[in-house]
Amino acid sequence: MSVTSVEQIVKIQGLHFHYNPQSEHPIHALKGIDLDISPGDYLVIVGHNGSGKSTLAKNINVLLRPTEGNVWVKGMNTRELANTLAIRSAVGMVFQIPDNQIVATIVEQDVAFGPENLGVPEDELRERVDWALGVVDMLGYRHRQPHRLSAGQKQRVAIAGVMAMKPEVLILDEATSMLDPEGRRDVLAAVRKLNEEGVTVIAITHFMHEAAEGNRVIVMEGGKIVMAGMPREVFSHVKELRTMQLDVPQTTELAYRMNQRDPTFPPDLLLVNEVADEIQRRVNGRSGT
Amino acid sequence: MSEEPFIQLNDLHHNYLRGTPLEVIALRGVSMEIYKGESVGIIGRTGAGKSTVVQHFNGLIRPREPGRVIVDGQDLNDPDVDIRRIRQKIGLVFQYPEQQLFERLVGDDIAFGPKKLGMEPADRRERVKWAMDMVGLDFEEFKDRFTFSLSGGEMRKAALAGVMALQPEVLILDESTSGVDPRSRRELLERLSTLHKDYGLMLVFVSPNMDDMAGLVDRIYVMDEGRVVMSGTTRAVFSQPEKLREHGLGVPQVTEVIHELIARGIKVEQIPVTVEEGAEEVWKILNS
Amino acid sequence: MEDFEFLRNITIGQYLPGDSIIHRLDPRTKLLAFLFIVMAVTFSMSYSANIVLVLVTLFLVLLSGISLRYIFSGLKPAVPLIIILAVLQLLFYGDAFTPYGATTRTLFKWGWINITNGSVQLVIVSAMRFVELLFLTSLLTNATTLTGITHGMESLMRPFSRIGVPANELALVMTIALRFVPLLAEQLEIIMKAQASRGADIAYKGKLQFVTTSRQVAVLIVPLFIDAFRRGEDLILAMQARCYIGGRGRSSFVRLKFAGVDYVTCALGLLFSVAMLVFRNYFPF
């Protein structure tokens, strides 16, 4: 197969995945995915339960291997067993349920789990743990028991645990869906910071307003990518998204409705401030202020 | 709204692990009223005490002096109170269906409540059918399905049916939308709205998400750190985004937009709680 | 009244933070000292030996700064058991035991029942030994974090890994168990509440008296098992994603180091135990 260019940190070609391929009723979860992800991207994947988004993510960090097609991470093909560890330490994954990914009974010991598995030498372990906890702003909690943390704090510990392996890609598999608004805010802030420092982020979510965090959005439905582009572009297709029974952020929906009544109103607004700005502009323009 | 509240909570205090070194204060004097026919929301961040309050409604937690809980005229401090009857009137649905479903077949699980009420098999079957209709689960299709082969959304409906099968007068939902995808969430909220409006079922809806409340509840109690910190109609509560933010909560984006406009000096007639209301309001602003 | 809070009266396993000498000892020291003293308890059948042991135990509790009241409260769940055992021993074990420094004297005999001064001693000594073991175990876990105990045990087992003892894996199993037991206990509580809300008969008297028929067990056990398995599945994925491939080649974040006081404590513990063993027949009564 062709060698991937170093430009793309993740390259996916013709990916098909079947659950239970040998059984009578295999589930065809991914039906031909082509996707390129560049270093530093913040890609958001949205779609319903069953659209294949989680399956896609697991094909990237080799928790699953393709039944057809190929996935390359940093030029390494995921089908080759020898690449497994290298890929998994380059692509970290944080899961939906905070409690079910924390292994140890003390925060800093859990964060050390990943690097310990990689055999990182003992003096470096302490450095990595401190750095990772600092990045997610949980350094003050390092001696605490995970049991006593809030869900948002637990997720940040999980992120630290993954970052301590110094991966280049961070996958968040619906990592905010069990959190309250505050917890979600804190986790998104931590992820944003990581992305600003160059970590490639792949976020799977069903919260539309979180999709606005990324520089790219793909919409999945029935195992295929049905829409792709920048958040704005994608969300302005309110009608299509509605038929797929996906939400758009309320701000975009508001703009869309205004656009329906007045075609000069831009329909592809995303942020609260943008909408407020546009309305204010029109009000001032009208009153001649 | 009638005179006497259907449910009255007075000055509730509660500590977990009392008397041990790990004691935690959960409630510091909470009072609430639910009147007949109402739909009420309890909102607050994790740890605010919402679940603790809600477990007082059906006697899972008994009030500590001087607290009092009165349900349909019955005082839960009275040692002779028939708690089973209270639990038939007040249905409580927990966060995850897996915490409740246990029977092999869906129909059997939903029949559990009626069985415990002492209903005869024929009546039970009718009741199960009724409950499944209420939640939108086809009786013939699902009654003999394996409980644990259902999808997440179907399990949620089955768990809800299991509680509805008691034919309660009040339905309490404790964070039922946590971790649920948008389509299922919308379905659930619509279903609850129908049950409330068309069947007169009183609702108490607990959630940390403001978006759930809009369009579903008439009144909201906001909790933080074991106390009720705000209360009022949905609209009134939504009109105070700064205060809500202080308590770790947000308002729906459309409400945020309107508040932003108010902050910029633009006159607004009514605080919207849904996108539809927001669109109307903005149209009015642009054309006044 | 229904009582849903399980963990309230169990003192074993509950870590209480503190800064005493005992808290600051290396967990391995505490494990070894615990073993030594328990051995001494096993061999002590005389009143005087047990008085010594009780005093030593209380002394250790005082050293640790843990409230005596708390440790005593750990006896509450065990009292019924102690009483049943005591009655059985008193009534039926008259000939099984010769009291120290005296001959067997029958106090009361009737059919199977045979009460001698031997059985009286047996009862009292057994009760004392039970209390000592309970207090020592409680103290061990109250003054040492369970993680500390896990790492201590792993460290002690490591020399045996050459003969195939999977020390690292066992330590991980224990850590995961410690991590998830409280979660499963919480989950069980929620399940009980959910089922009680539907009208199930749950926990009207005492904490563990809800099991009467297998039907009632299913109501609680099925959801609990499903929850445990789901968590297990999730955890496996998470561990794989974090590159876990078994104990070989893993480094260790936690490093235990012996200080002077640890050597001294181990030596004292060993000496005490050996002394109690060697001189056990020299105790007067």
Dihedrals φ, ψ of A104, to 5°?
-95, 170
ipTM of predicted complex: 0.89
How many CA atoms does the CB half-sphere of C103 hold within 13 Å?
0
What pLDDT shows up at residue C66?
Answer: 87
Please report residues of A whose CB lies closer than 8 A to that of C242: 88, 92, 113-114, 117, 161-162, 165
pLDDT at C32 over 90: yes
State both tokens at B258. Answer: 């309107």
Q: Average pLDDT in the B243-264 region?
A: 88
CB proximity B24 to A under 8 Å:
no
What pLDDT shows up at residue A198?
Answer: 94
What pLDDT shows up at residue B2?
Answer: 55
Q: Do C249 and A89 touch (CB under 8 A)?
A: no
Q: Average pLDDT in the B202-218 region?
A: 88
Q: Do B282 and A245 touch (CB under 8 A)?
A: no
State both tokens at B94. Answer: 């927990």
Rounded to the nearest angstrom, the minimum Cα separation between A49 and chain C is 17
pLDDT at B167 over 90: yes
pLDDT at B248 over 50: yes
Rounded to the nearest angstrom, the minimum Cα separation between B101 and chain C is 7
What pLDDT shows up at residue C279?
Answer: 84
Dihedrals φ, ψ of B121, to 5°?
-50, -40
CB proximity B178 to A under 8 Å:
yes
pLDDT confidence band for C237 (50 / 70 / 90): very high
The beta-carbon neighbor of B257 closest among A247, A254, A261 is A254
The beta-carbon neighbor of A97 closest among C146, C234, C242 is C234
CB proximity A271 to B under 8 Å:
no
Predicted confidence (pLDDT) per residue in A113-133, tens digit: 999 999 999 889 999 999 999
Q: Average pLDDT in the A66-81 region?
A: 94
Predicted confidence (pLDDT) per residue in B71-122, tens digit: 998 898 888 888 888 999 999 999 998 889 988 999 999 999 999 888 999 9
The beta-carbon neighbor of A181 closest among B152, B208, B286 is B208
pLDDT at B220 over 90: yes
- Mean of the per-residue pLDDT values for chain A? 90
- List domains and CATH numbers for chain B: 1-72+169-233 (3.40.50.300), 95-168 (no CATH)
Question: Please, which residues have CB within 8 angstroms of residue A48's CB and are 6 or more apart in sequence?
Answer: A206, A221, A244, A245, A246, B181, B183
What pLDDT shows up at residue C206?
Answer: 41
Please report residues of C whose CB lies closer than 8 A to that of B87: 196-199
What pLDDT shows up at residue C278?
Answer: 87
Q: Average pLDDT in the A243-253 region?
A: 82
What pLDDT shows up at residue C214?
Answer: 60
Taking residue C192's Cβ as centre, other Cβ atoms within 10 Å add up to: 23
Predicted confidence (pLDDT) per residue in C239-276, tens digit: 999 999 988 888 889 888 888 999 999 999 999 999 98
Rounded to the nearest angstrom, the minimum Cα separation between B93 and chain A is 18
The beta-carbon neighbor of C198 closest among B19, B113, B148 is B113
pLDDT at C145 over 90: no
pLDDT confidence band for C7 (50 / 70 / 90): low
Q: Average pLDDT in the B20-34 region?
A: 86
Rounded to the nearest angstrom, the minimum Cα separation between B84 and chain C is 6
Length of chain B: 288
> Which chain A residue has the Cα nearest residue C231?
A100
CB proximity C139 to B under 8 Å:
no
What pLDDT shows up at residue B186?
Answer: 85
In the 3-class helix/strand/coil scheme, how is chain C assigned residue by residue?
Answer: CCCCCHHHHCCCCCCCCCCCHHHHCCHHHHHHHHHHHHHHHHHCCCHHHHHHHHHHHHHHHHHHCCCHHHHHHCCHHHHHHHHHHHHHHHHHCCCCCCCCCCCCCEEEEECCEEEEHHHHHHHHHHHHHHHHHHHHHHHHHHHCCHHHHHHHHHHHHHHHHHHCCCHHHHHHHHHHHHHHHHHHHHHHHHHHHHHHHCCCCCCCCCCCCCCCCHHHHHHHHHHHHHHHHHHHHHHHHHHHHCCCCCCCCCCCCCCCCCCHHHHHHHHHHHHHHHHHHHCHHHCCC
> Which chain C residue has the Cα nearest residue A161?
C242
Looking up tokens 């079947």, which residue turns up?
Answer: A18
Q: Average pLDDT in the C115-125 region?
A: 81
Q: What does the alpha-carbon distance between residue B97 and residue B157 come to, in Å, rounded to a whole number?
A: 8
Please name the residues between 190 and 229 in chain C that touch chain B, using a CB distance below 8 Å: 190-191, 193-201, 218-220, 222-223, 226-227
What pLDDT shows up at residue A286?
Answer: 76
Q: Average pLDDT in the A244-254 region?
A: 83
The beta-carbon neighbor of C197 closest among B22, B87, B103 is B87
What pLDDT shows up at residue A287?
Answer: 67
What pLDDT shows up at residue A4?
Answer: 47
What pLDDT shows up at residue C5?
Answer: 53
- φ/ψ region of C101 (left if φ > 0, alpha if ψ in -120 to 50, else beta) reads left
Predicted confidence (pLDDT) per residue in C159-196, tens digit: 888 888 888 898 899 889 888 988 998 899 899 999 99
The beta-carbon neighbor of C242 closest among A105, A122, A162 is A162
Extents of the domains making up chain A:
10-248, 249-289
Q: Average pLDDT in the C20-41 region?
A: 92
pLDDT confidence band for A85 (50 / 70 / 90): very high
- Mean of the per-residue pLDDT values for chain B? 89
Rounded to the nearest angstrom, the minimum Cα separation between A115 and chain C is 8
State both tokens at B224. Answer: 């933080």
Q: What does the alpha-carbon distance between residue A42 and residue A37 come to, in Å, rounded to a whole number?
A: 9
Rounded to the nearest angstrom, the minimum Cα separation between B113 and chain C is 5
What pLDDT shows up at residue A81?
Answer: 93
pLDDT confidence band for A219 (50 / 70 / 90): very high
DSSP chain B: --SS-SEEEEEEEEEESTTSTT-EEEEEEEEEEE-TT-EEEEEE-TTSSHHHHHHHHTTSSPPPTT-EEEETTEETT-TT--HHHHHHHEEEE-S-GGGT--SSBHHHHHHHHHHHTT--HHHHHHHHHHHHHHHT--HHHHTTSBGGGS-HHHHHHHHHHHHHTT--SEEEEESTTTT--HHHHHHHHHHHHHHHHHH--EEEEEES-HHHHTTT-SEEEEEETTEEEEEEEHHHHHT-HHHHHHTT----HHHHHHHHHHHTT---SS--SSHHHHHHHHHHHHH-
Pairing label, strands A42-47, A200-205: parallel
Percent of chain C whose pLDDT exceeds 70: 89
> Which chain A residue has the Cα nearest residue C239?
A101
Extents of the domains making up chain C:
9-166+254-285, 167-246
Q: Per CATH, which fold does A10-248 belong to?
A: Rossmann fold (3.40.50)
Q: Do C196 and B87 touch (CB under 8 A)?
A: yes
Rg (CA), chain C: 23
- Which is more confidently placed, C204 or B147? B147
The beta-carbon neighbor of C198 closest among B19, B22, B162 is B162
Interface-testing mutation among C191, C198, C229, with chain B (most B C-beta atoms within 10 A): C198
Interface-testing mutation among A188, A250, A273, A284, with chain B (most B C-beta atoms within 10 A): A250
Q: Average pLDDT in the A15-42 region?
A: 93
Please report residues of B whose CB lies closer than 8 A to that of C195: 100, 102
What pLDDT shows up at residue A288?
Answer: 55
- Mean of the per-residue pLDDT values for chain C? 84
What pLDDT shows up at residue A88?
Answer: 95
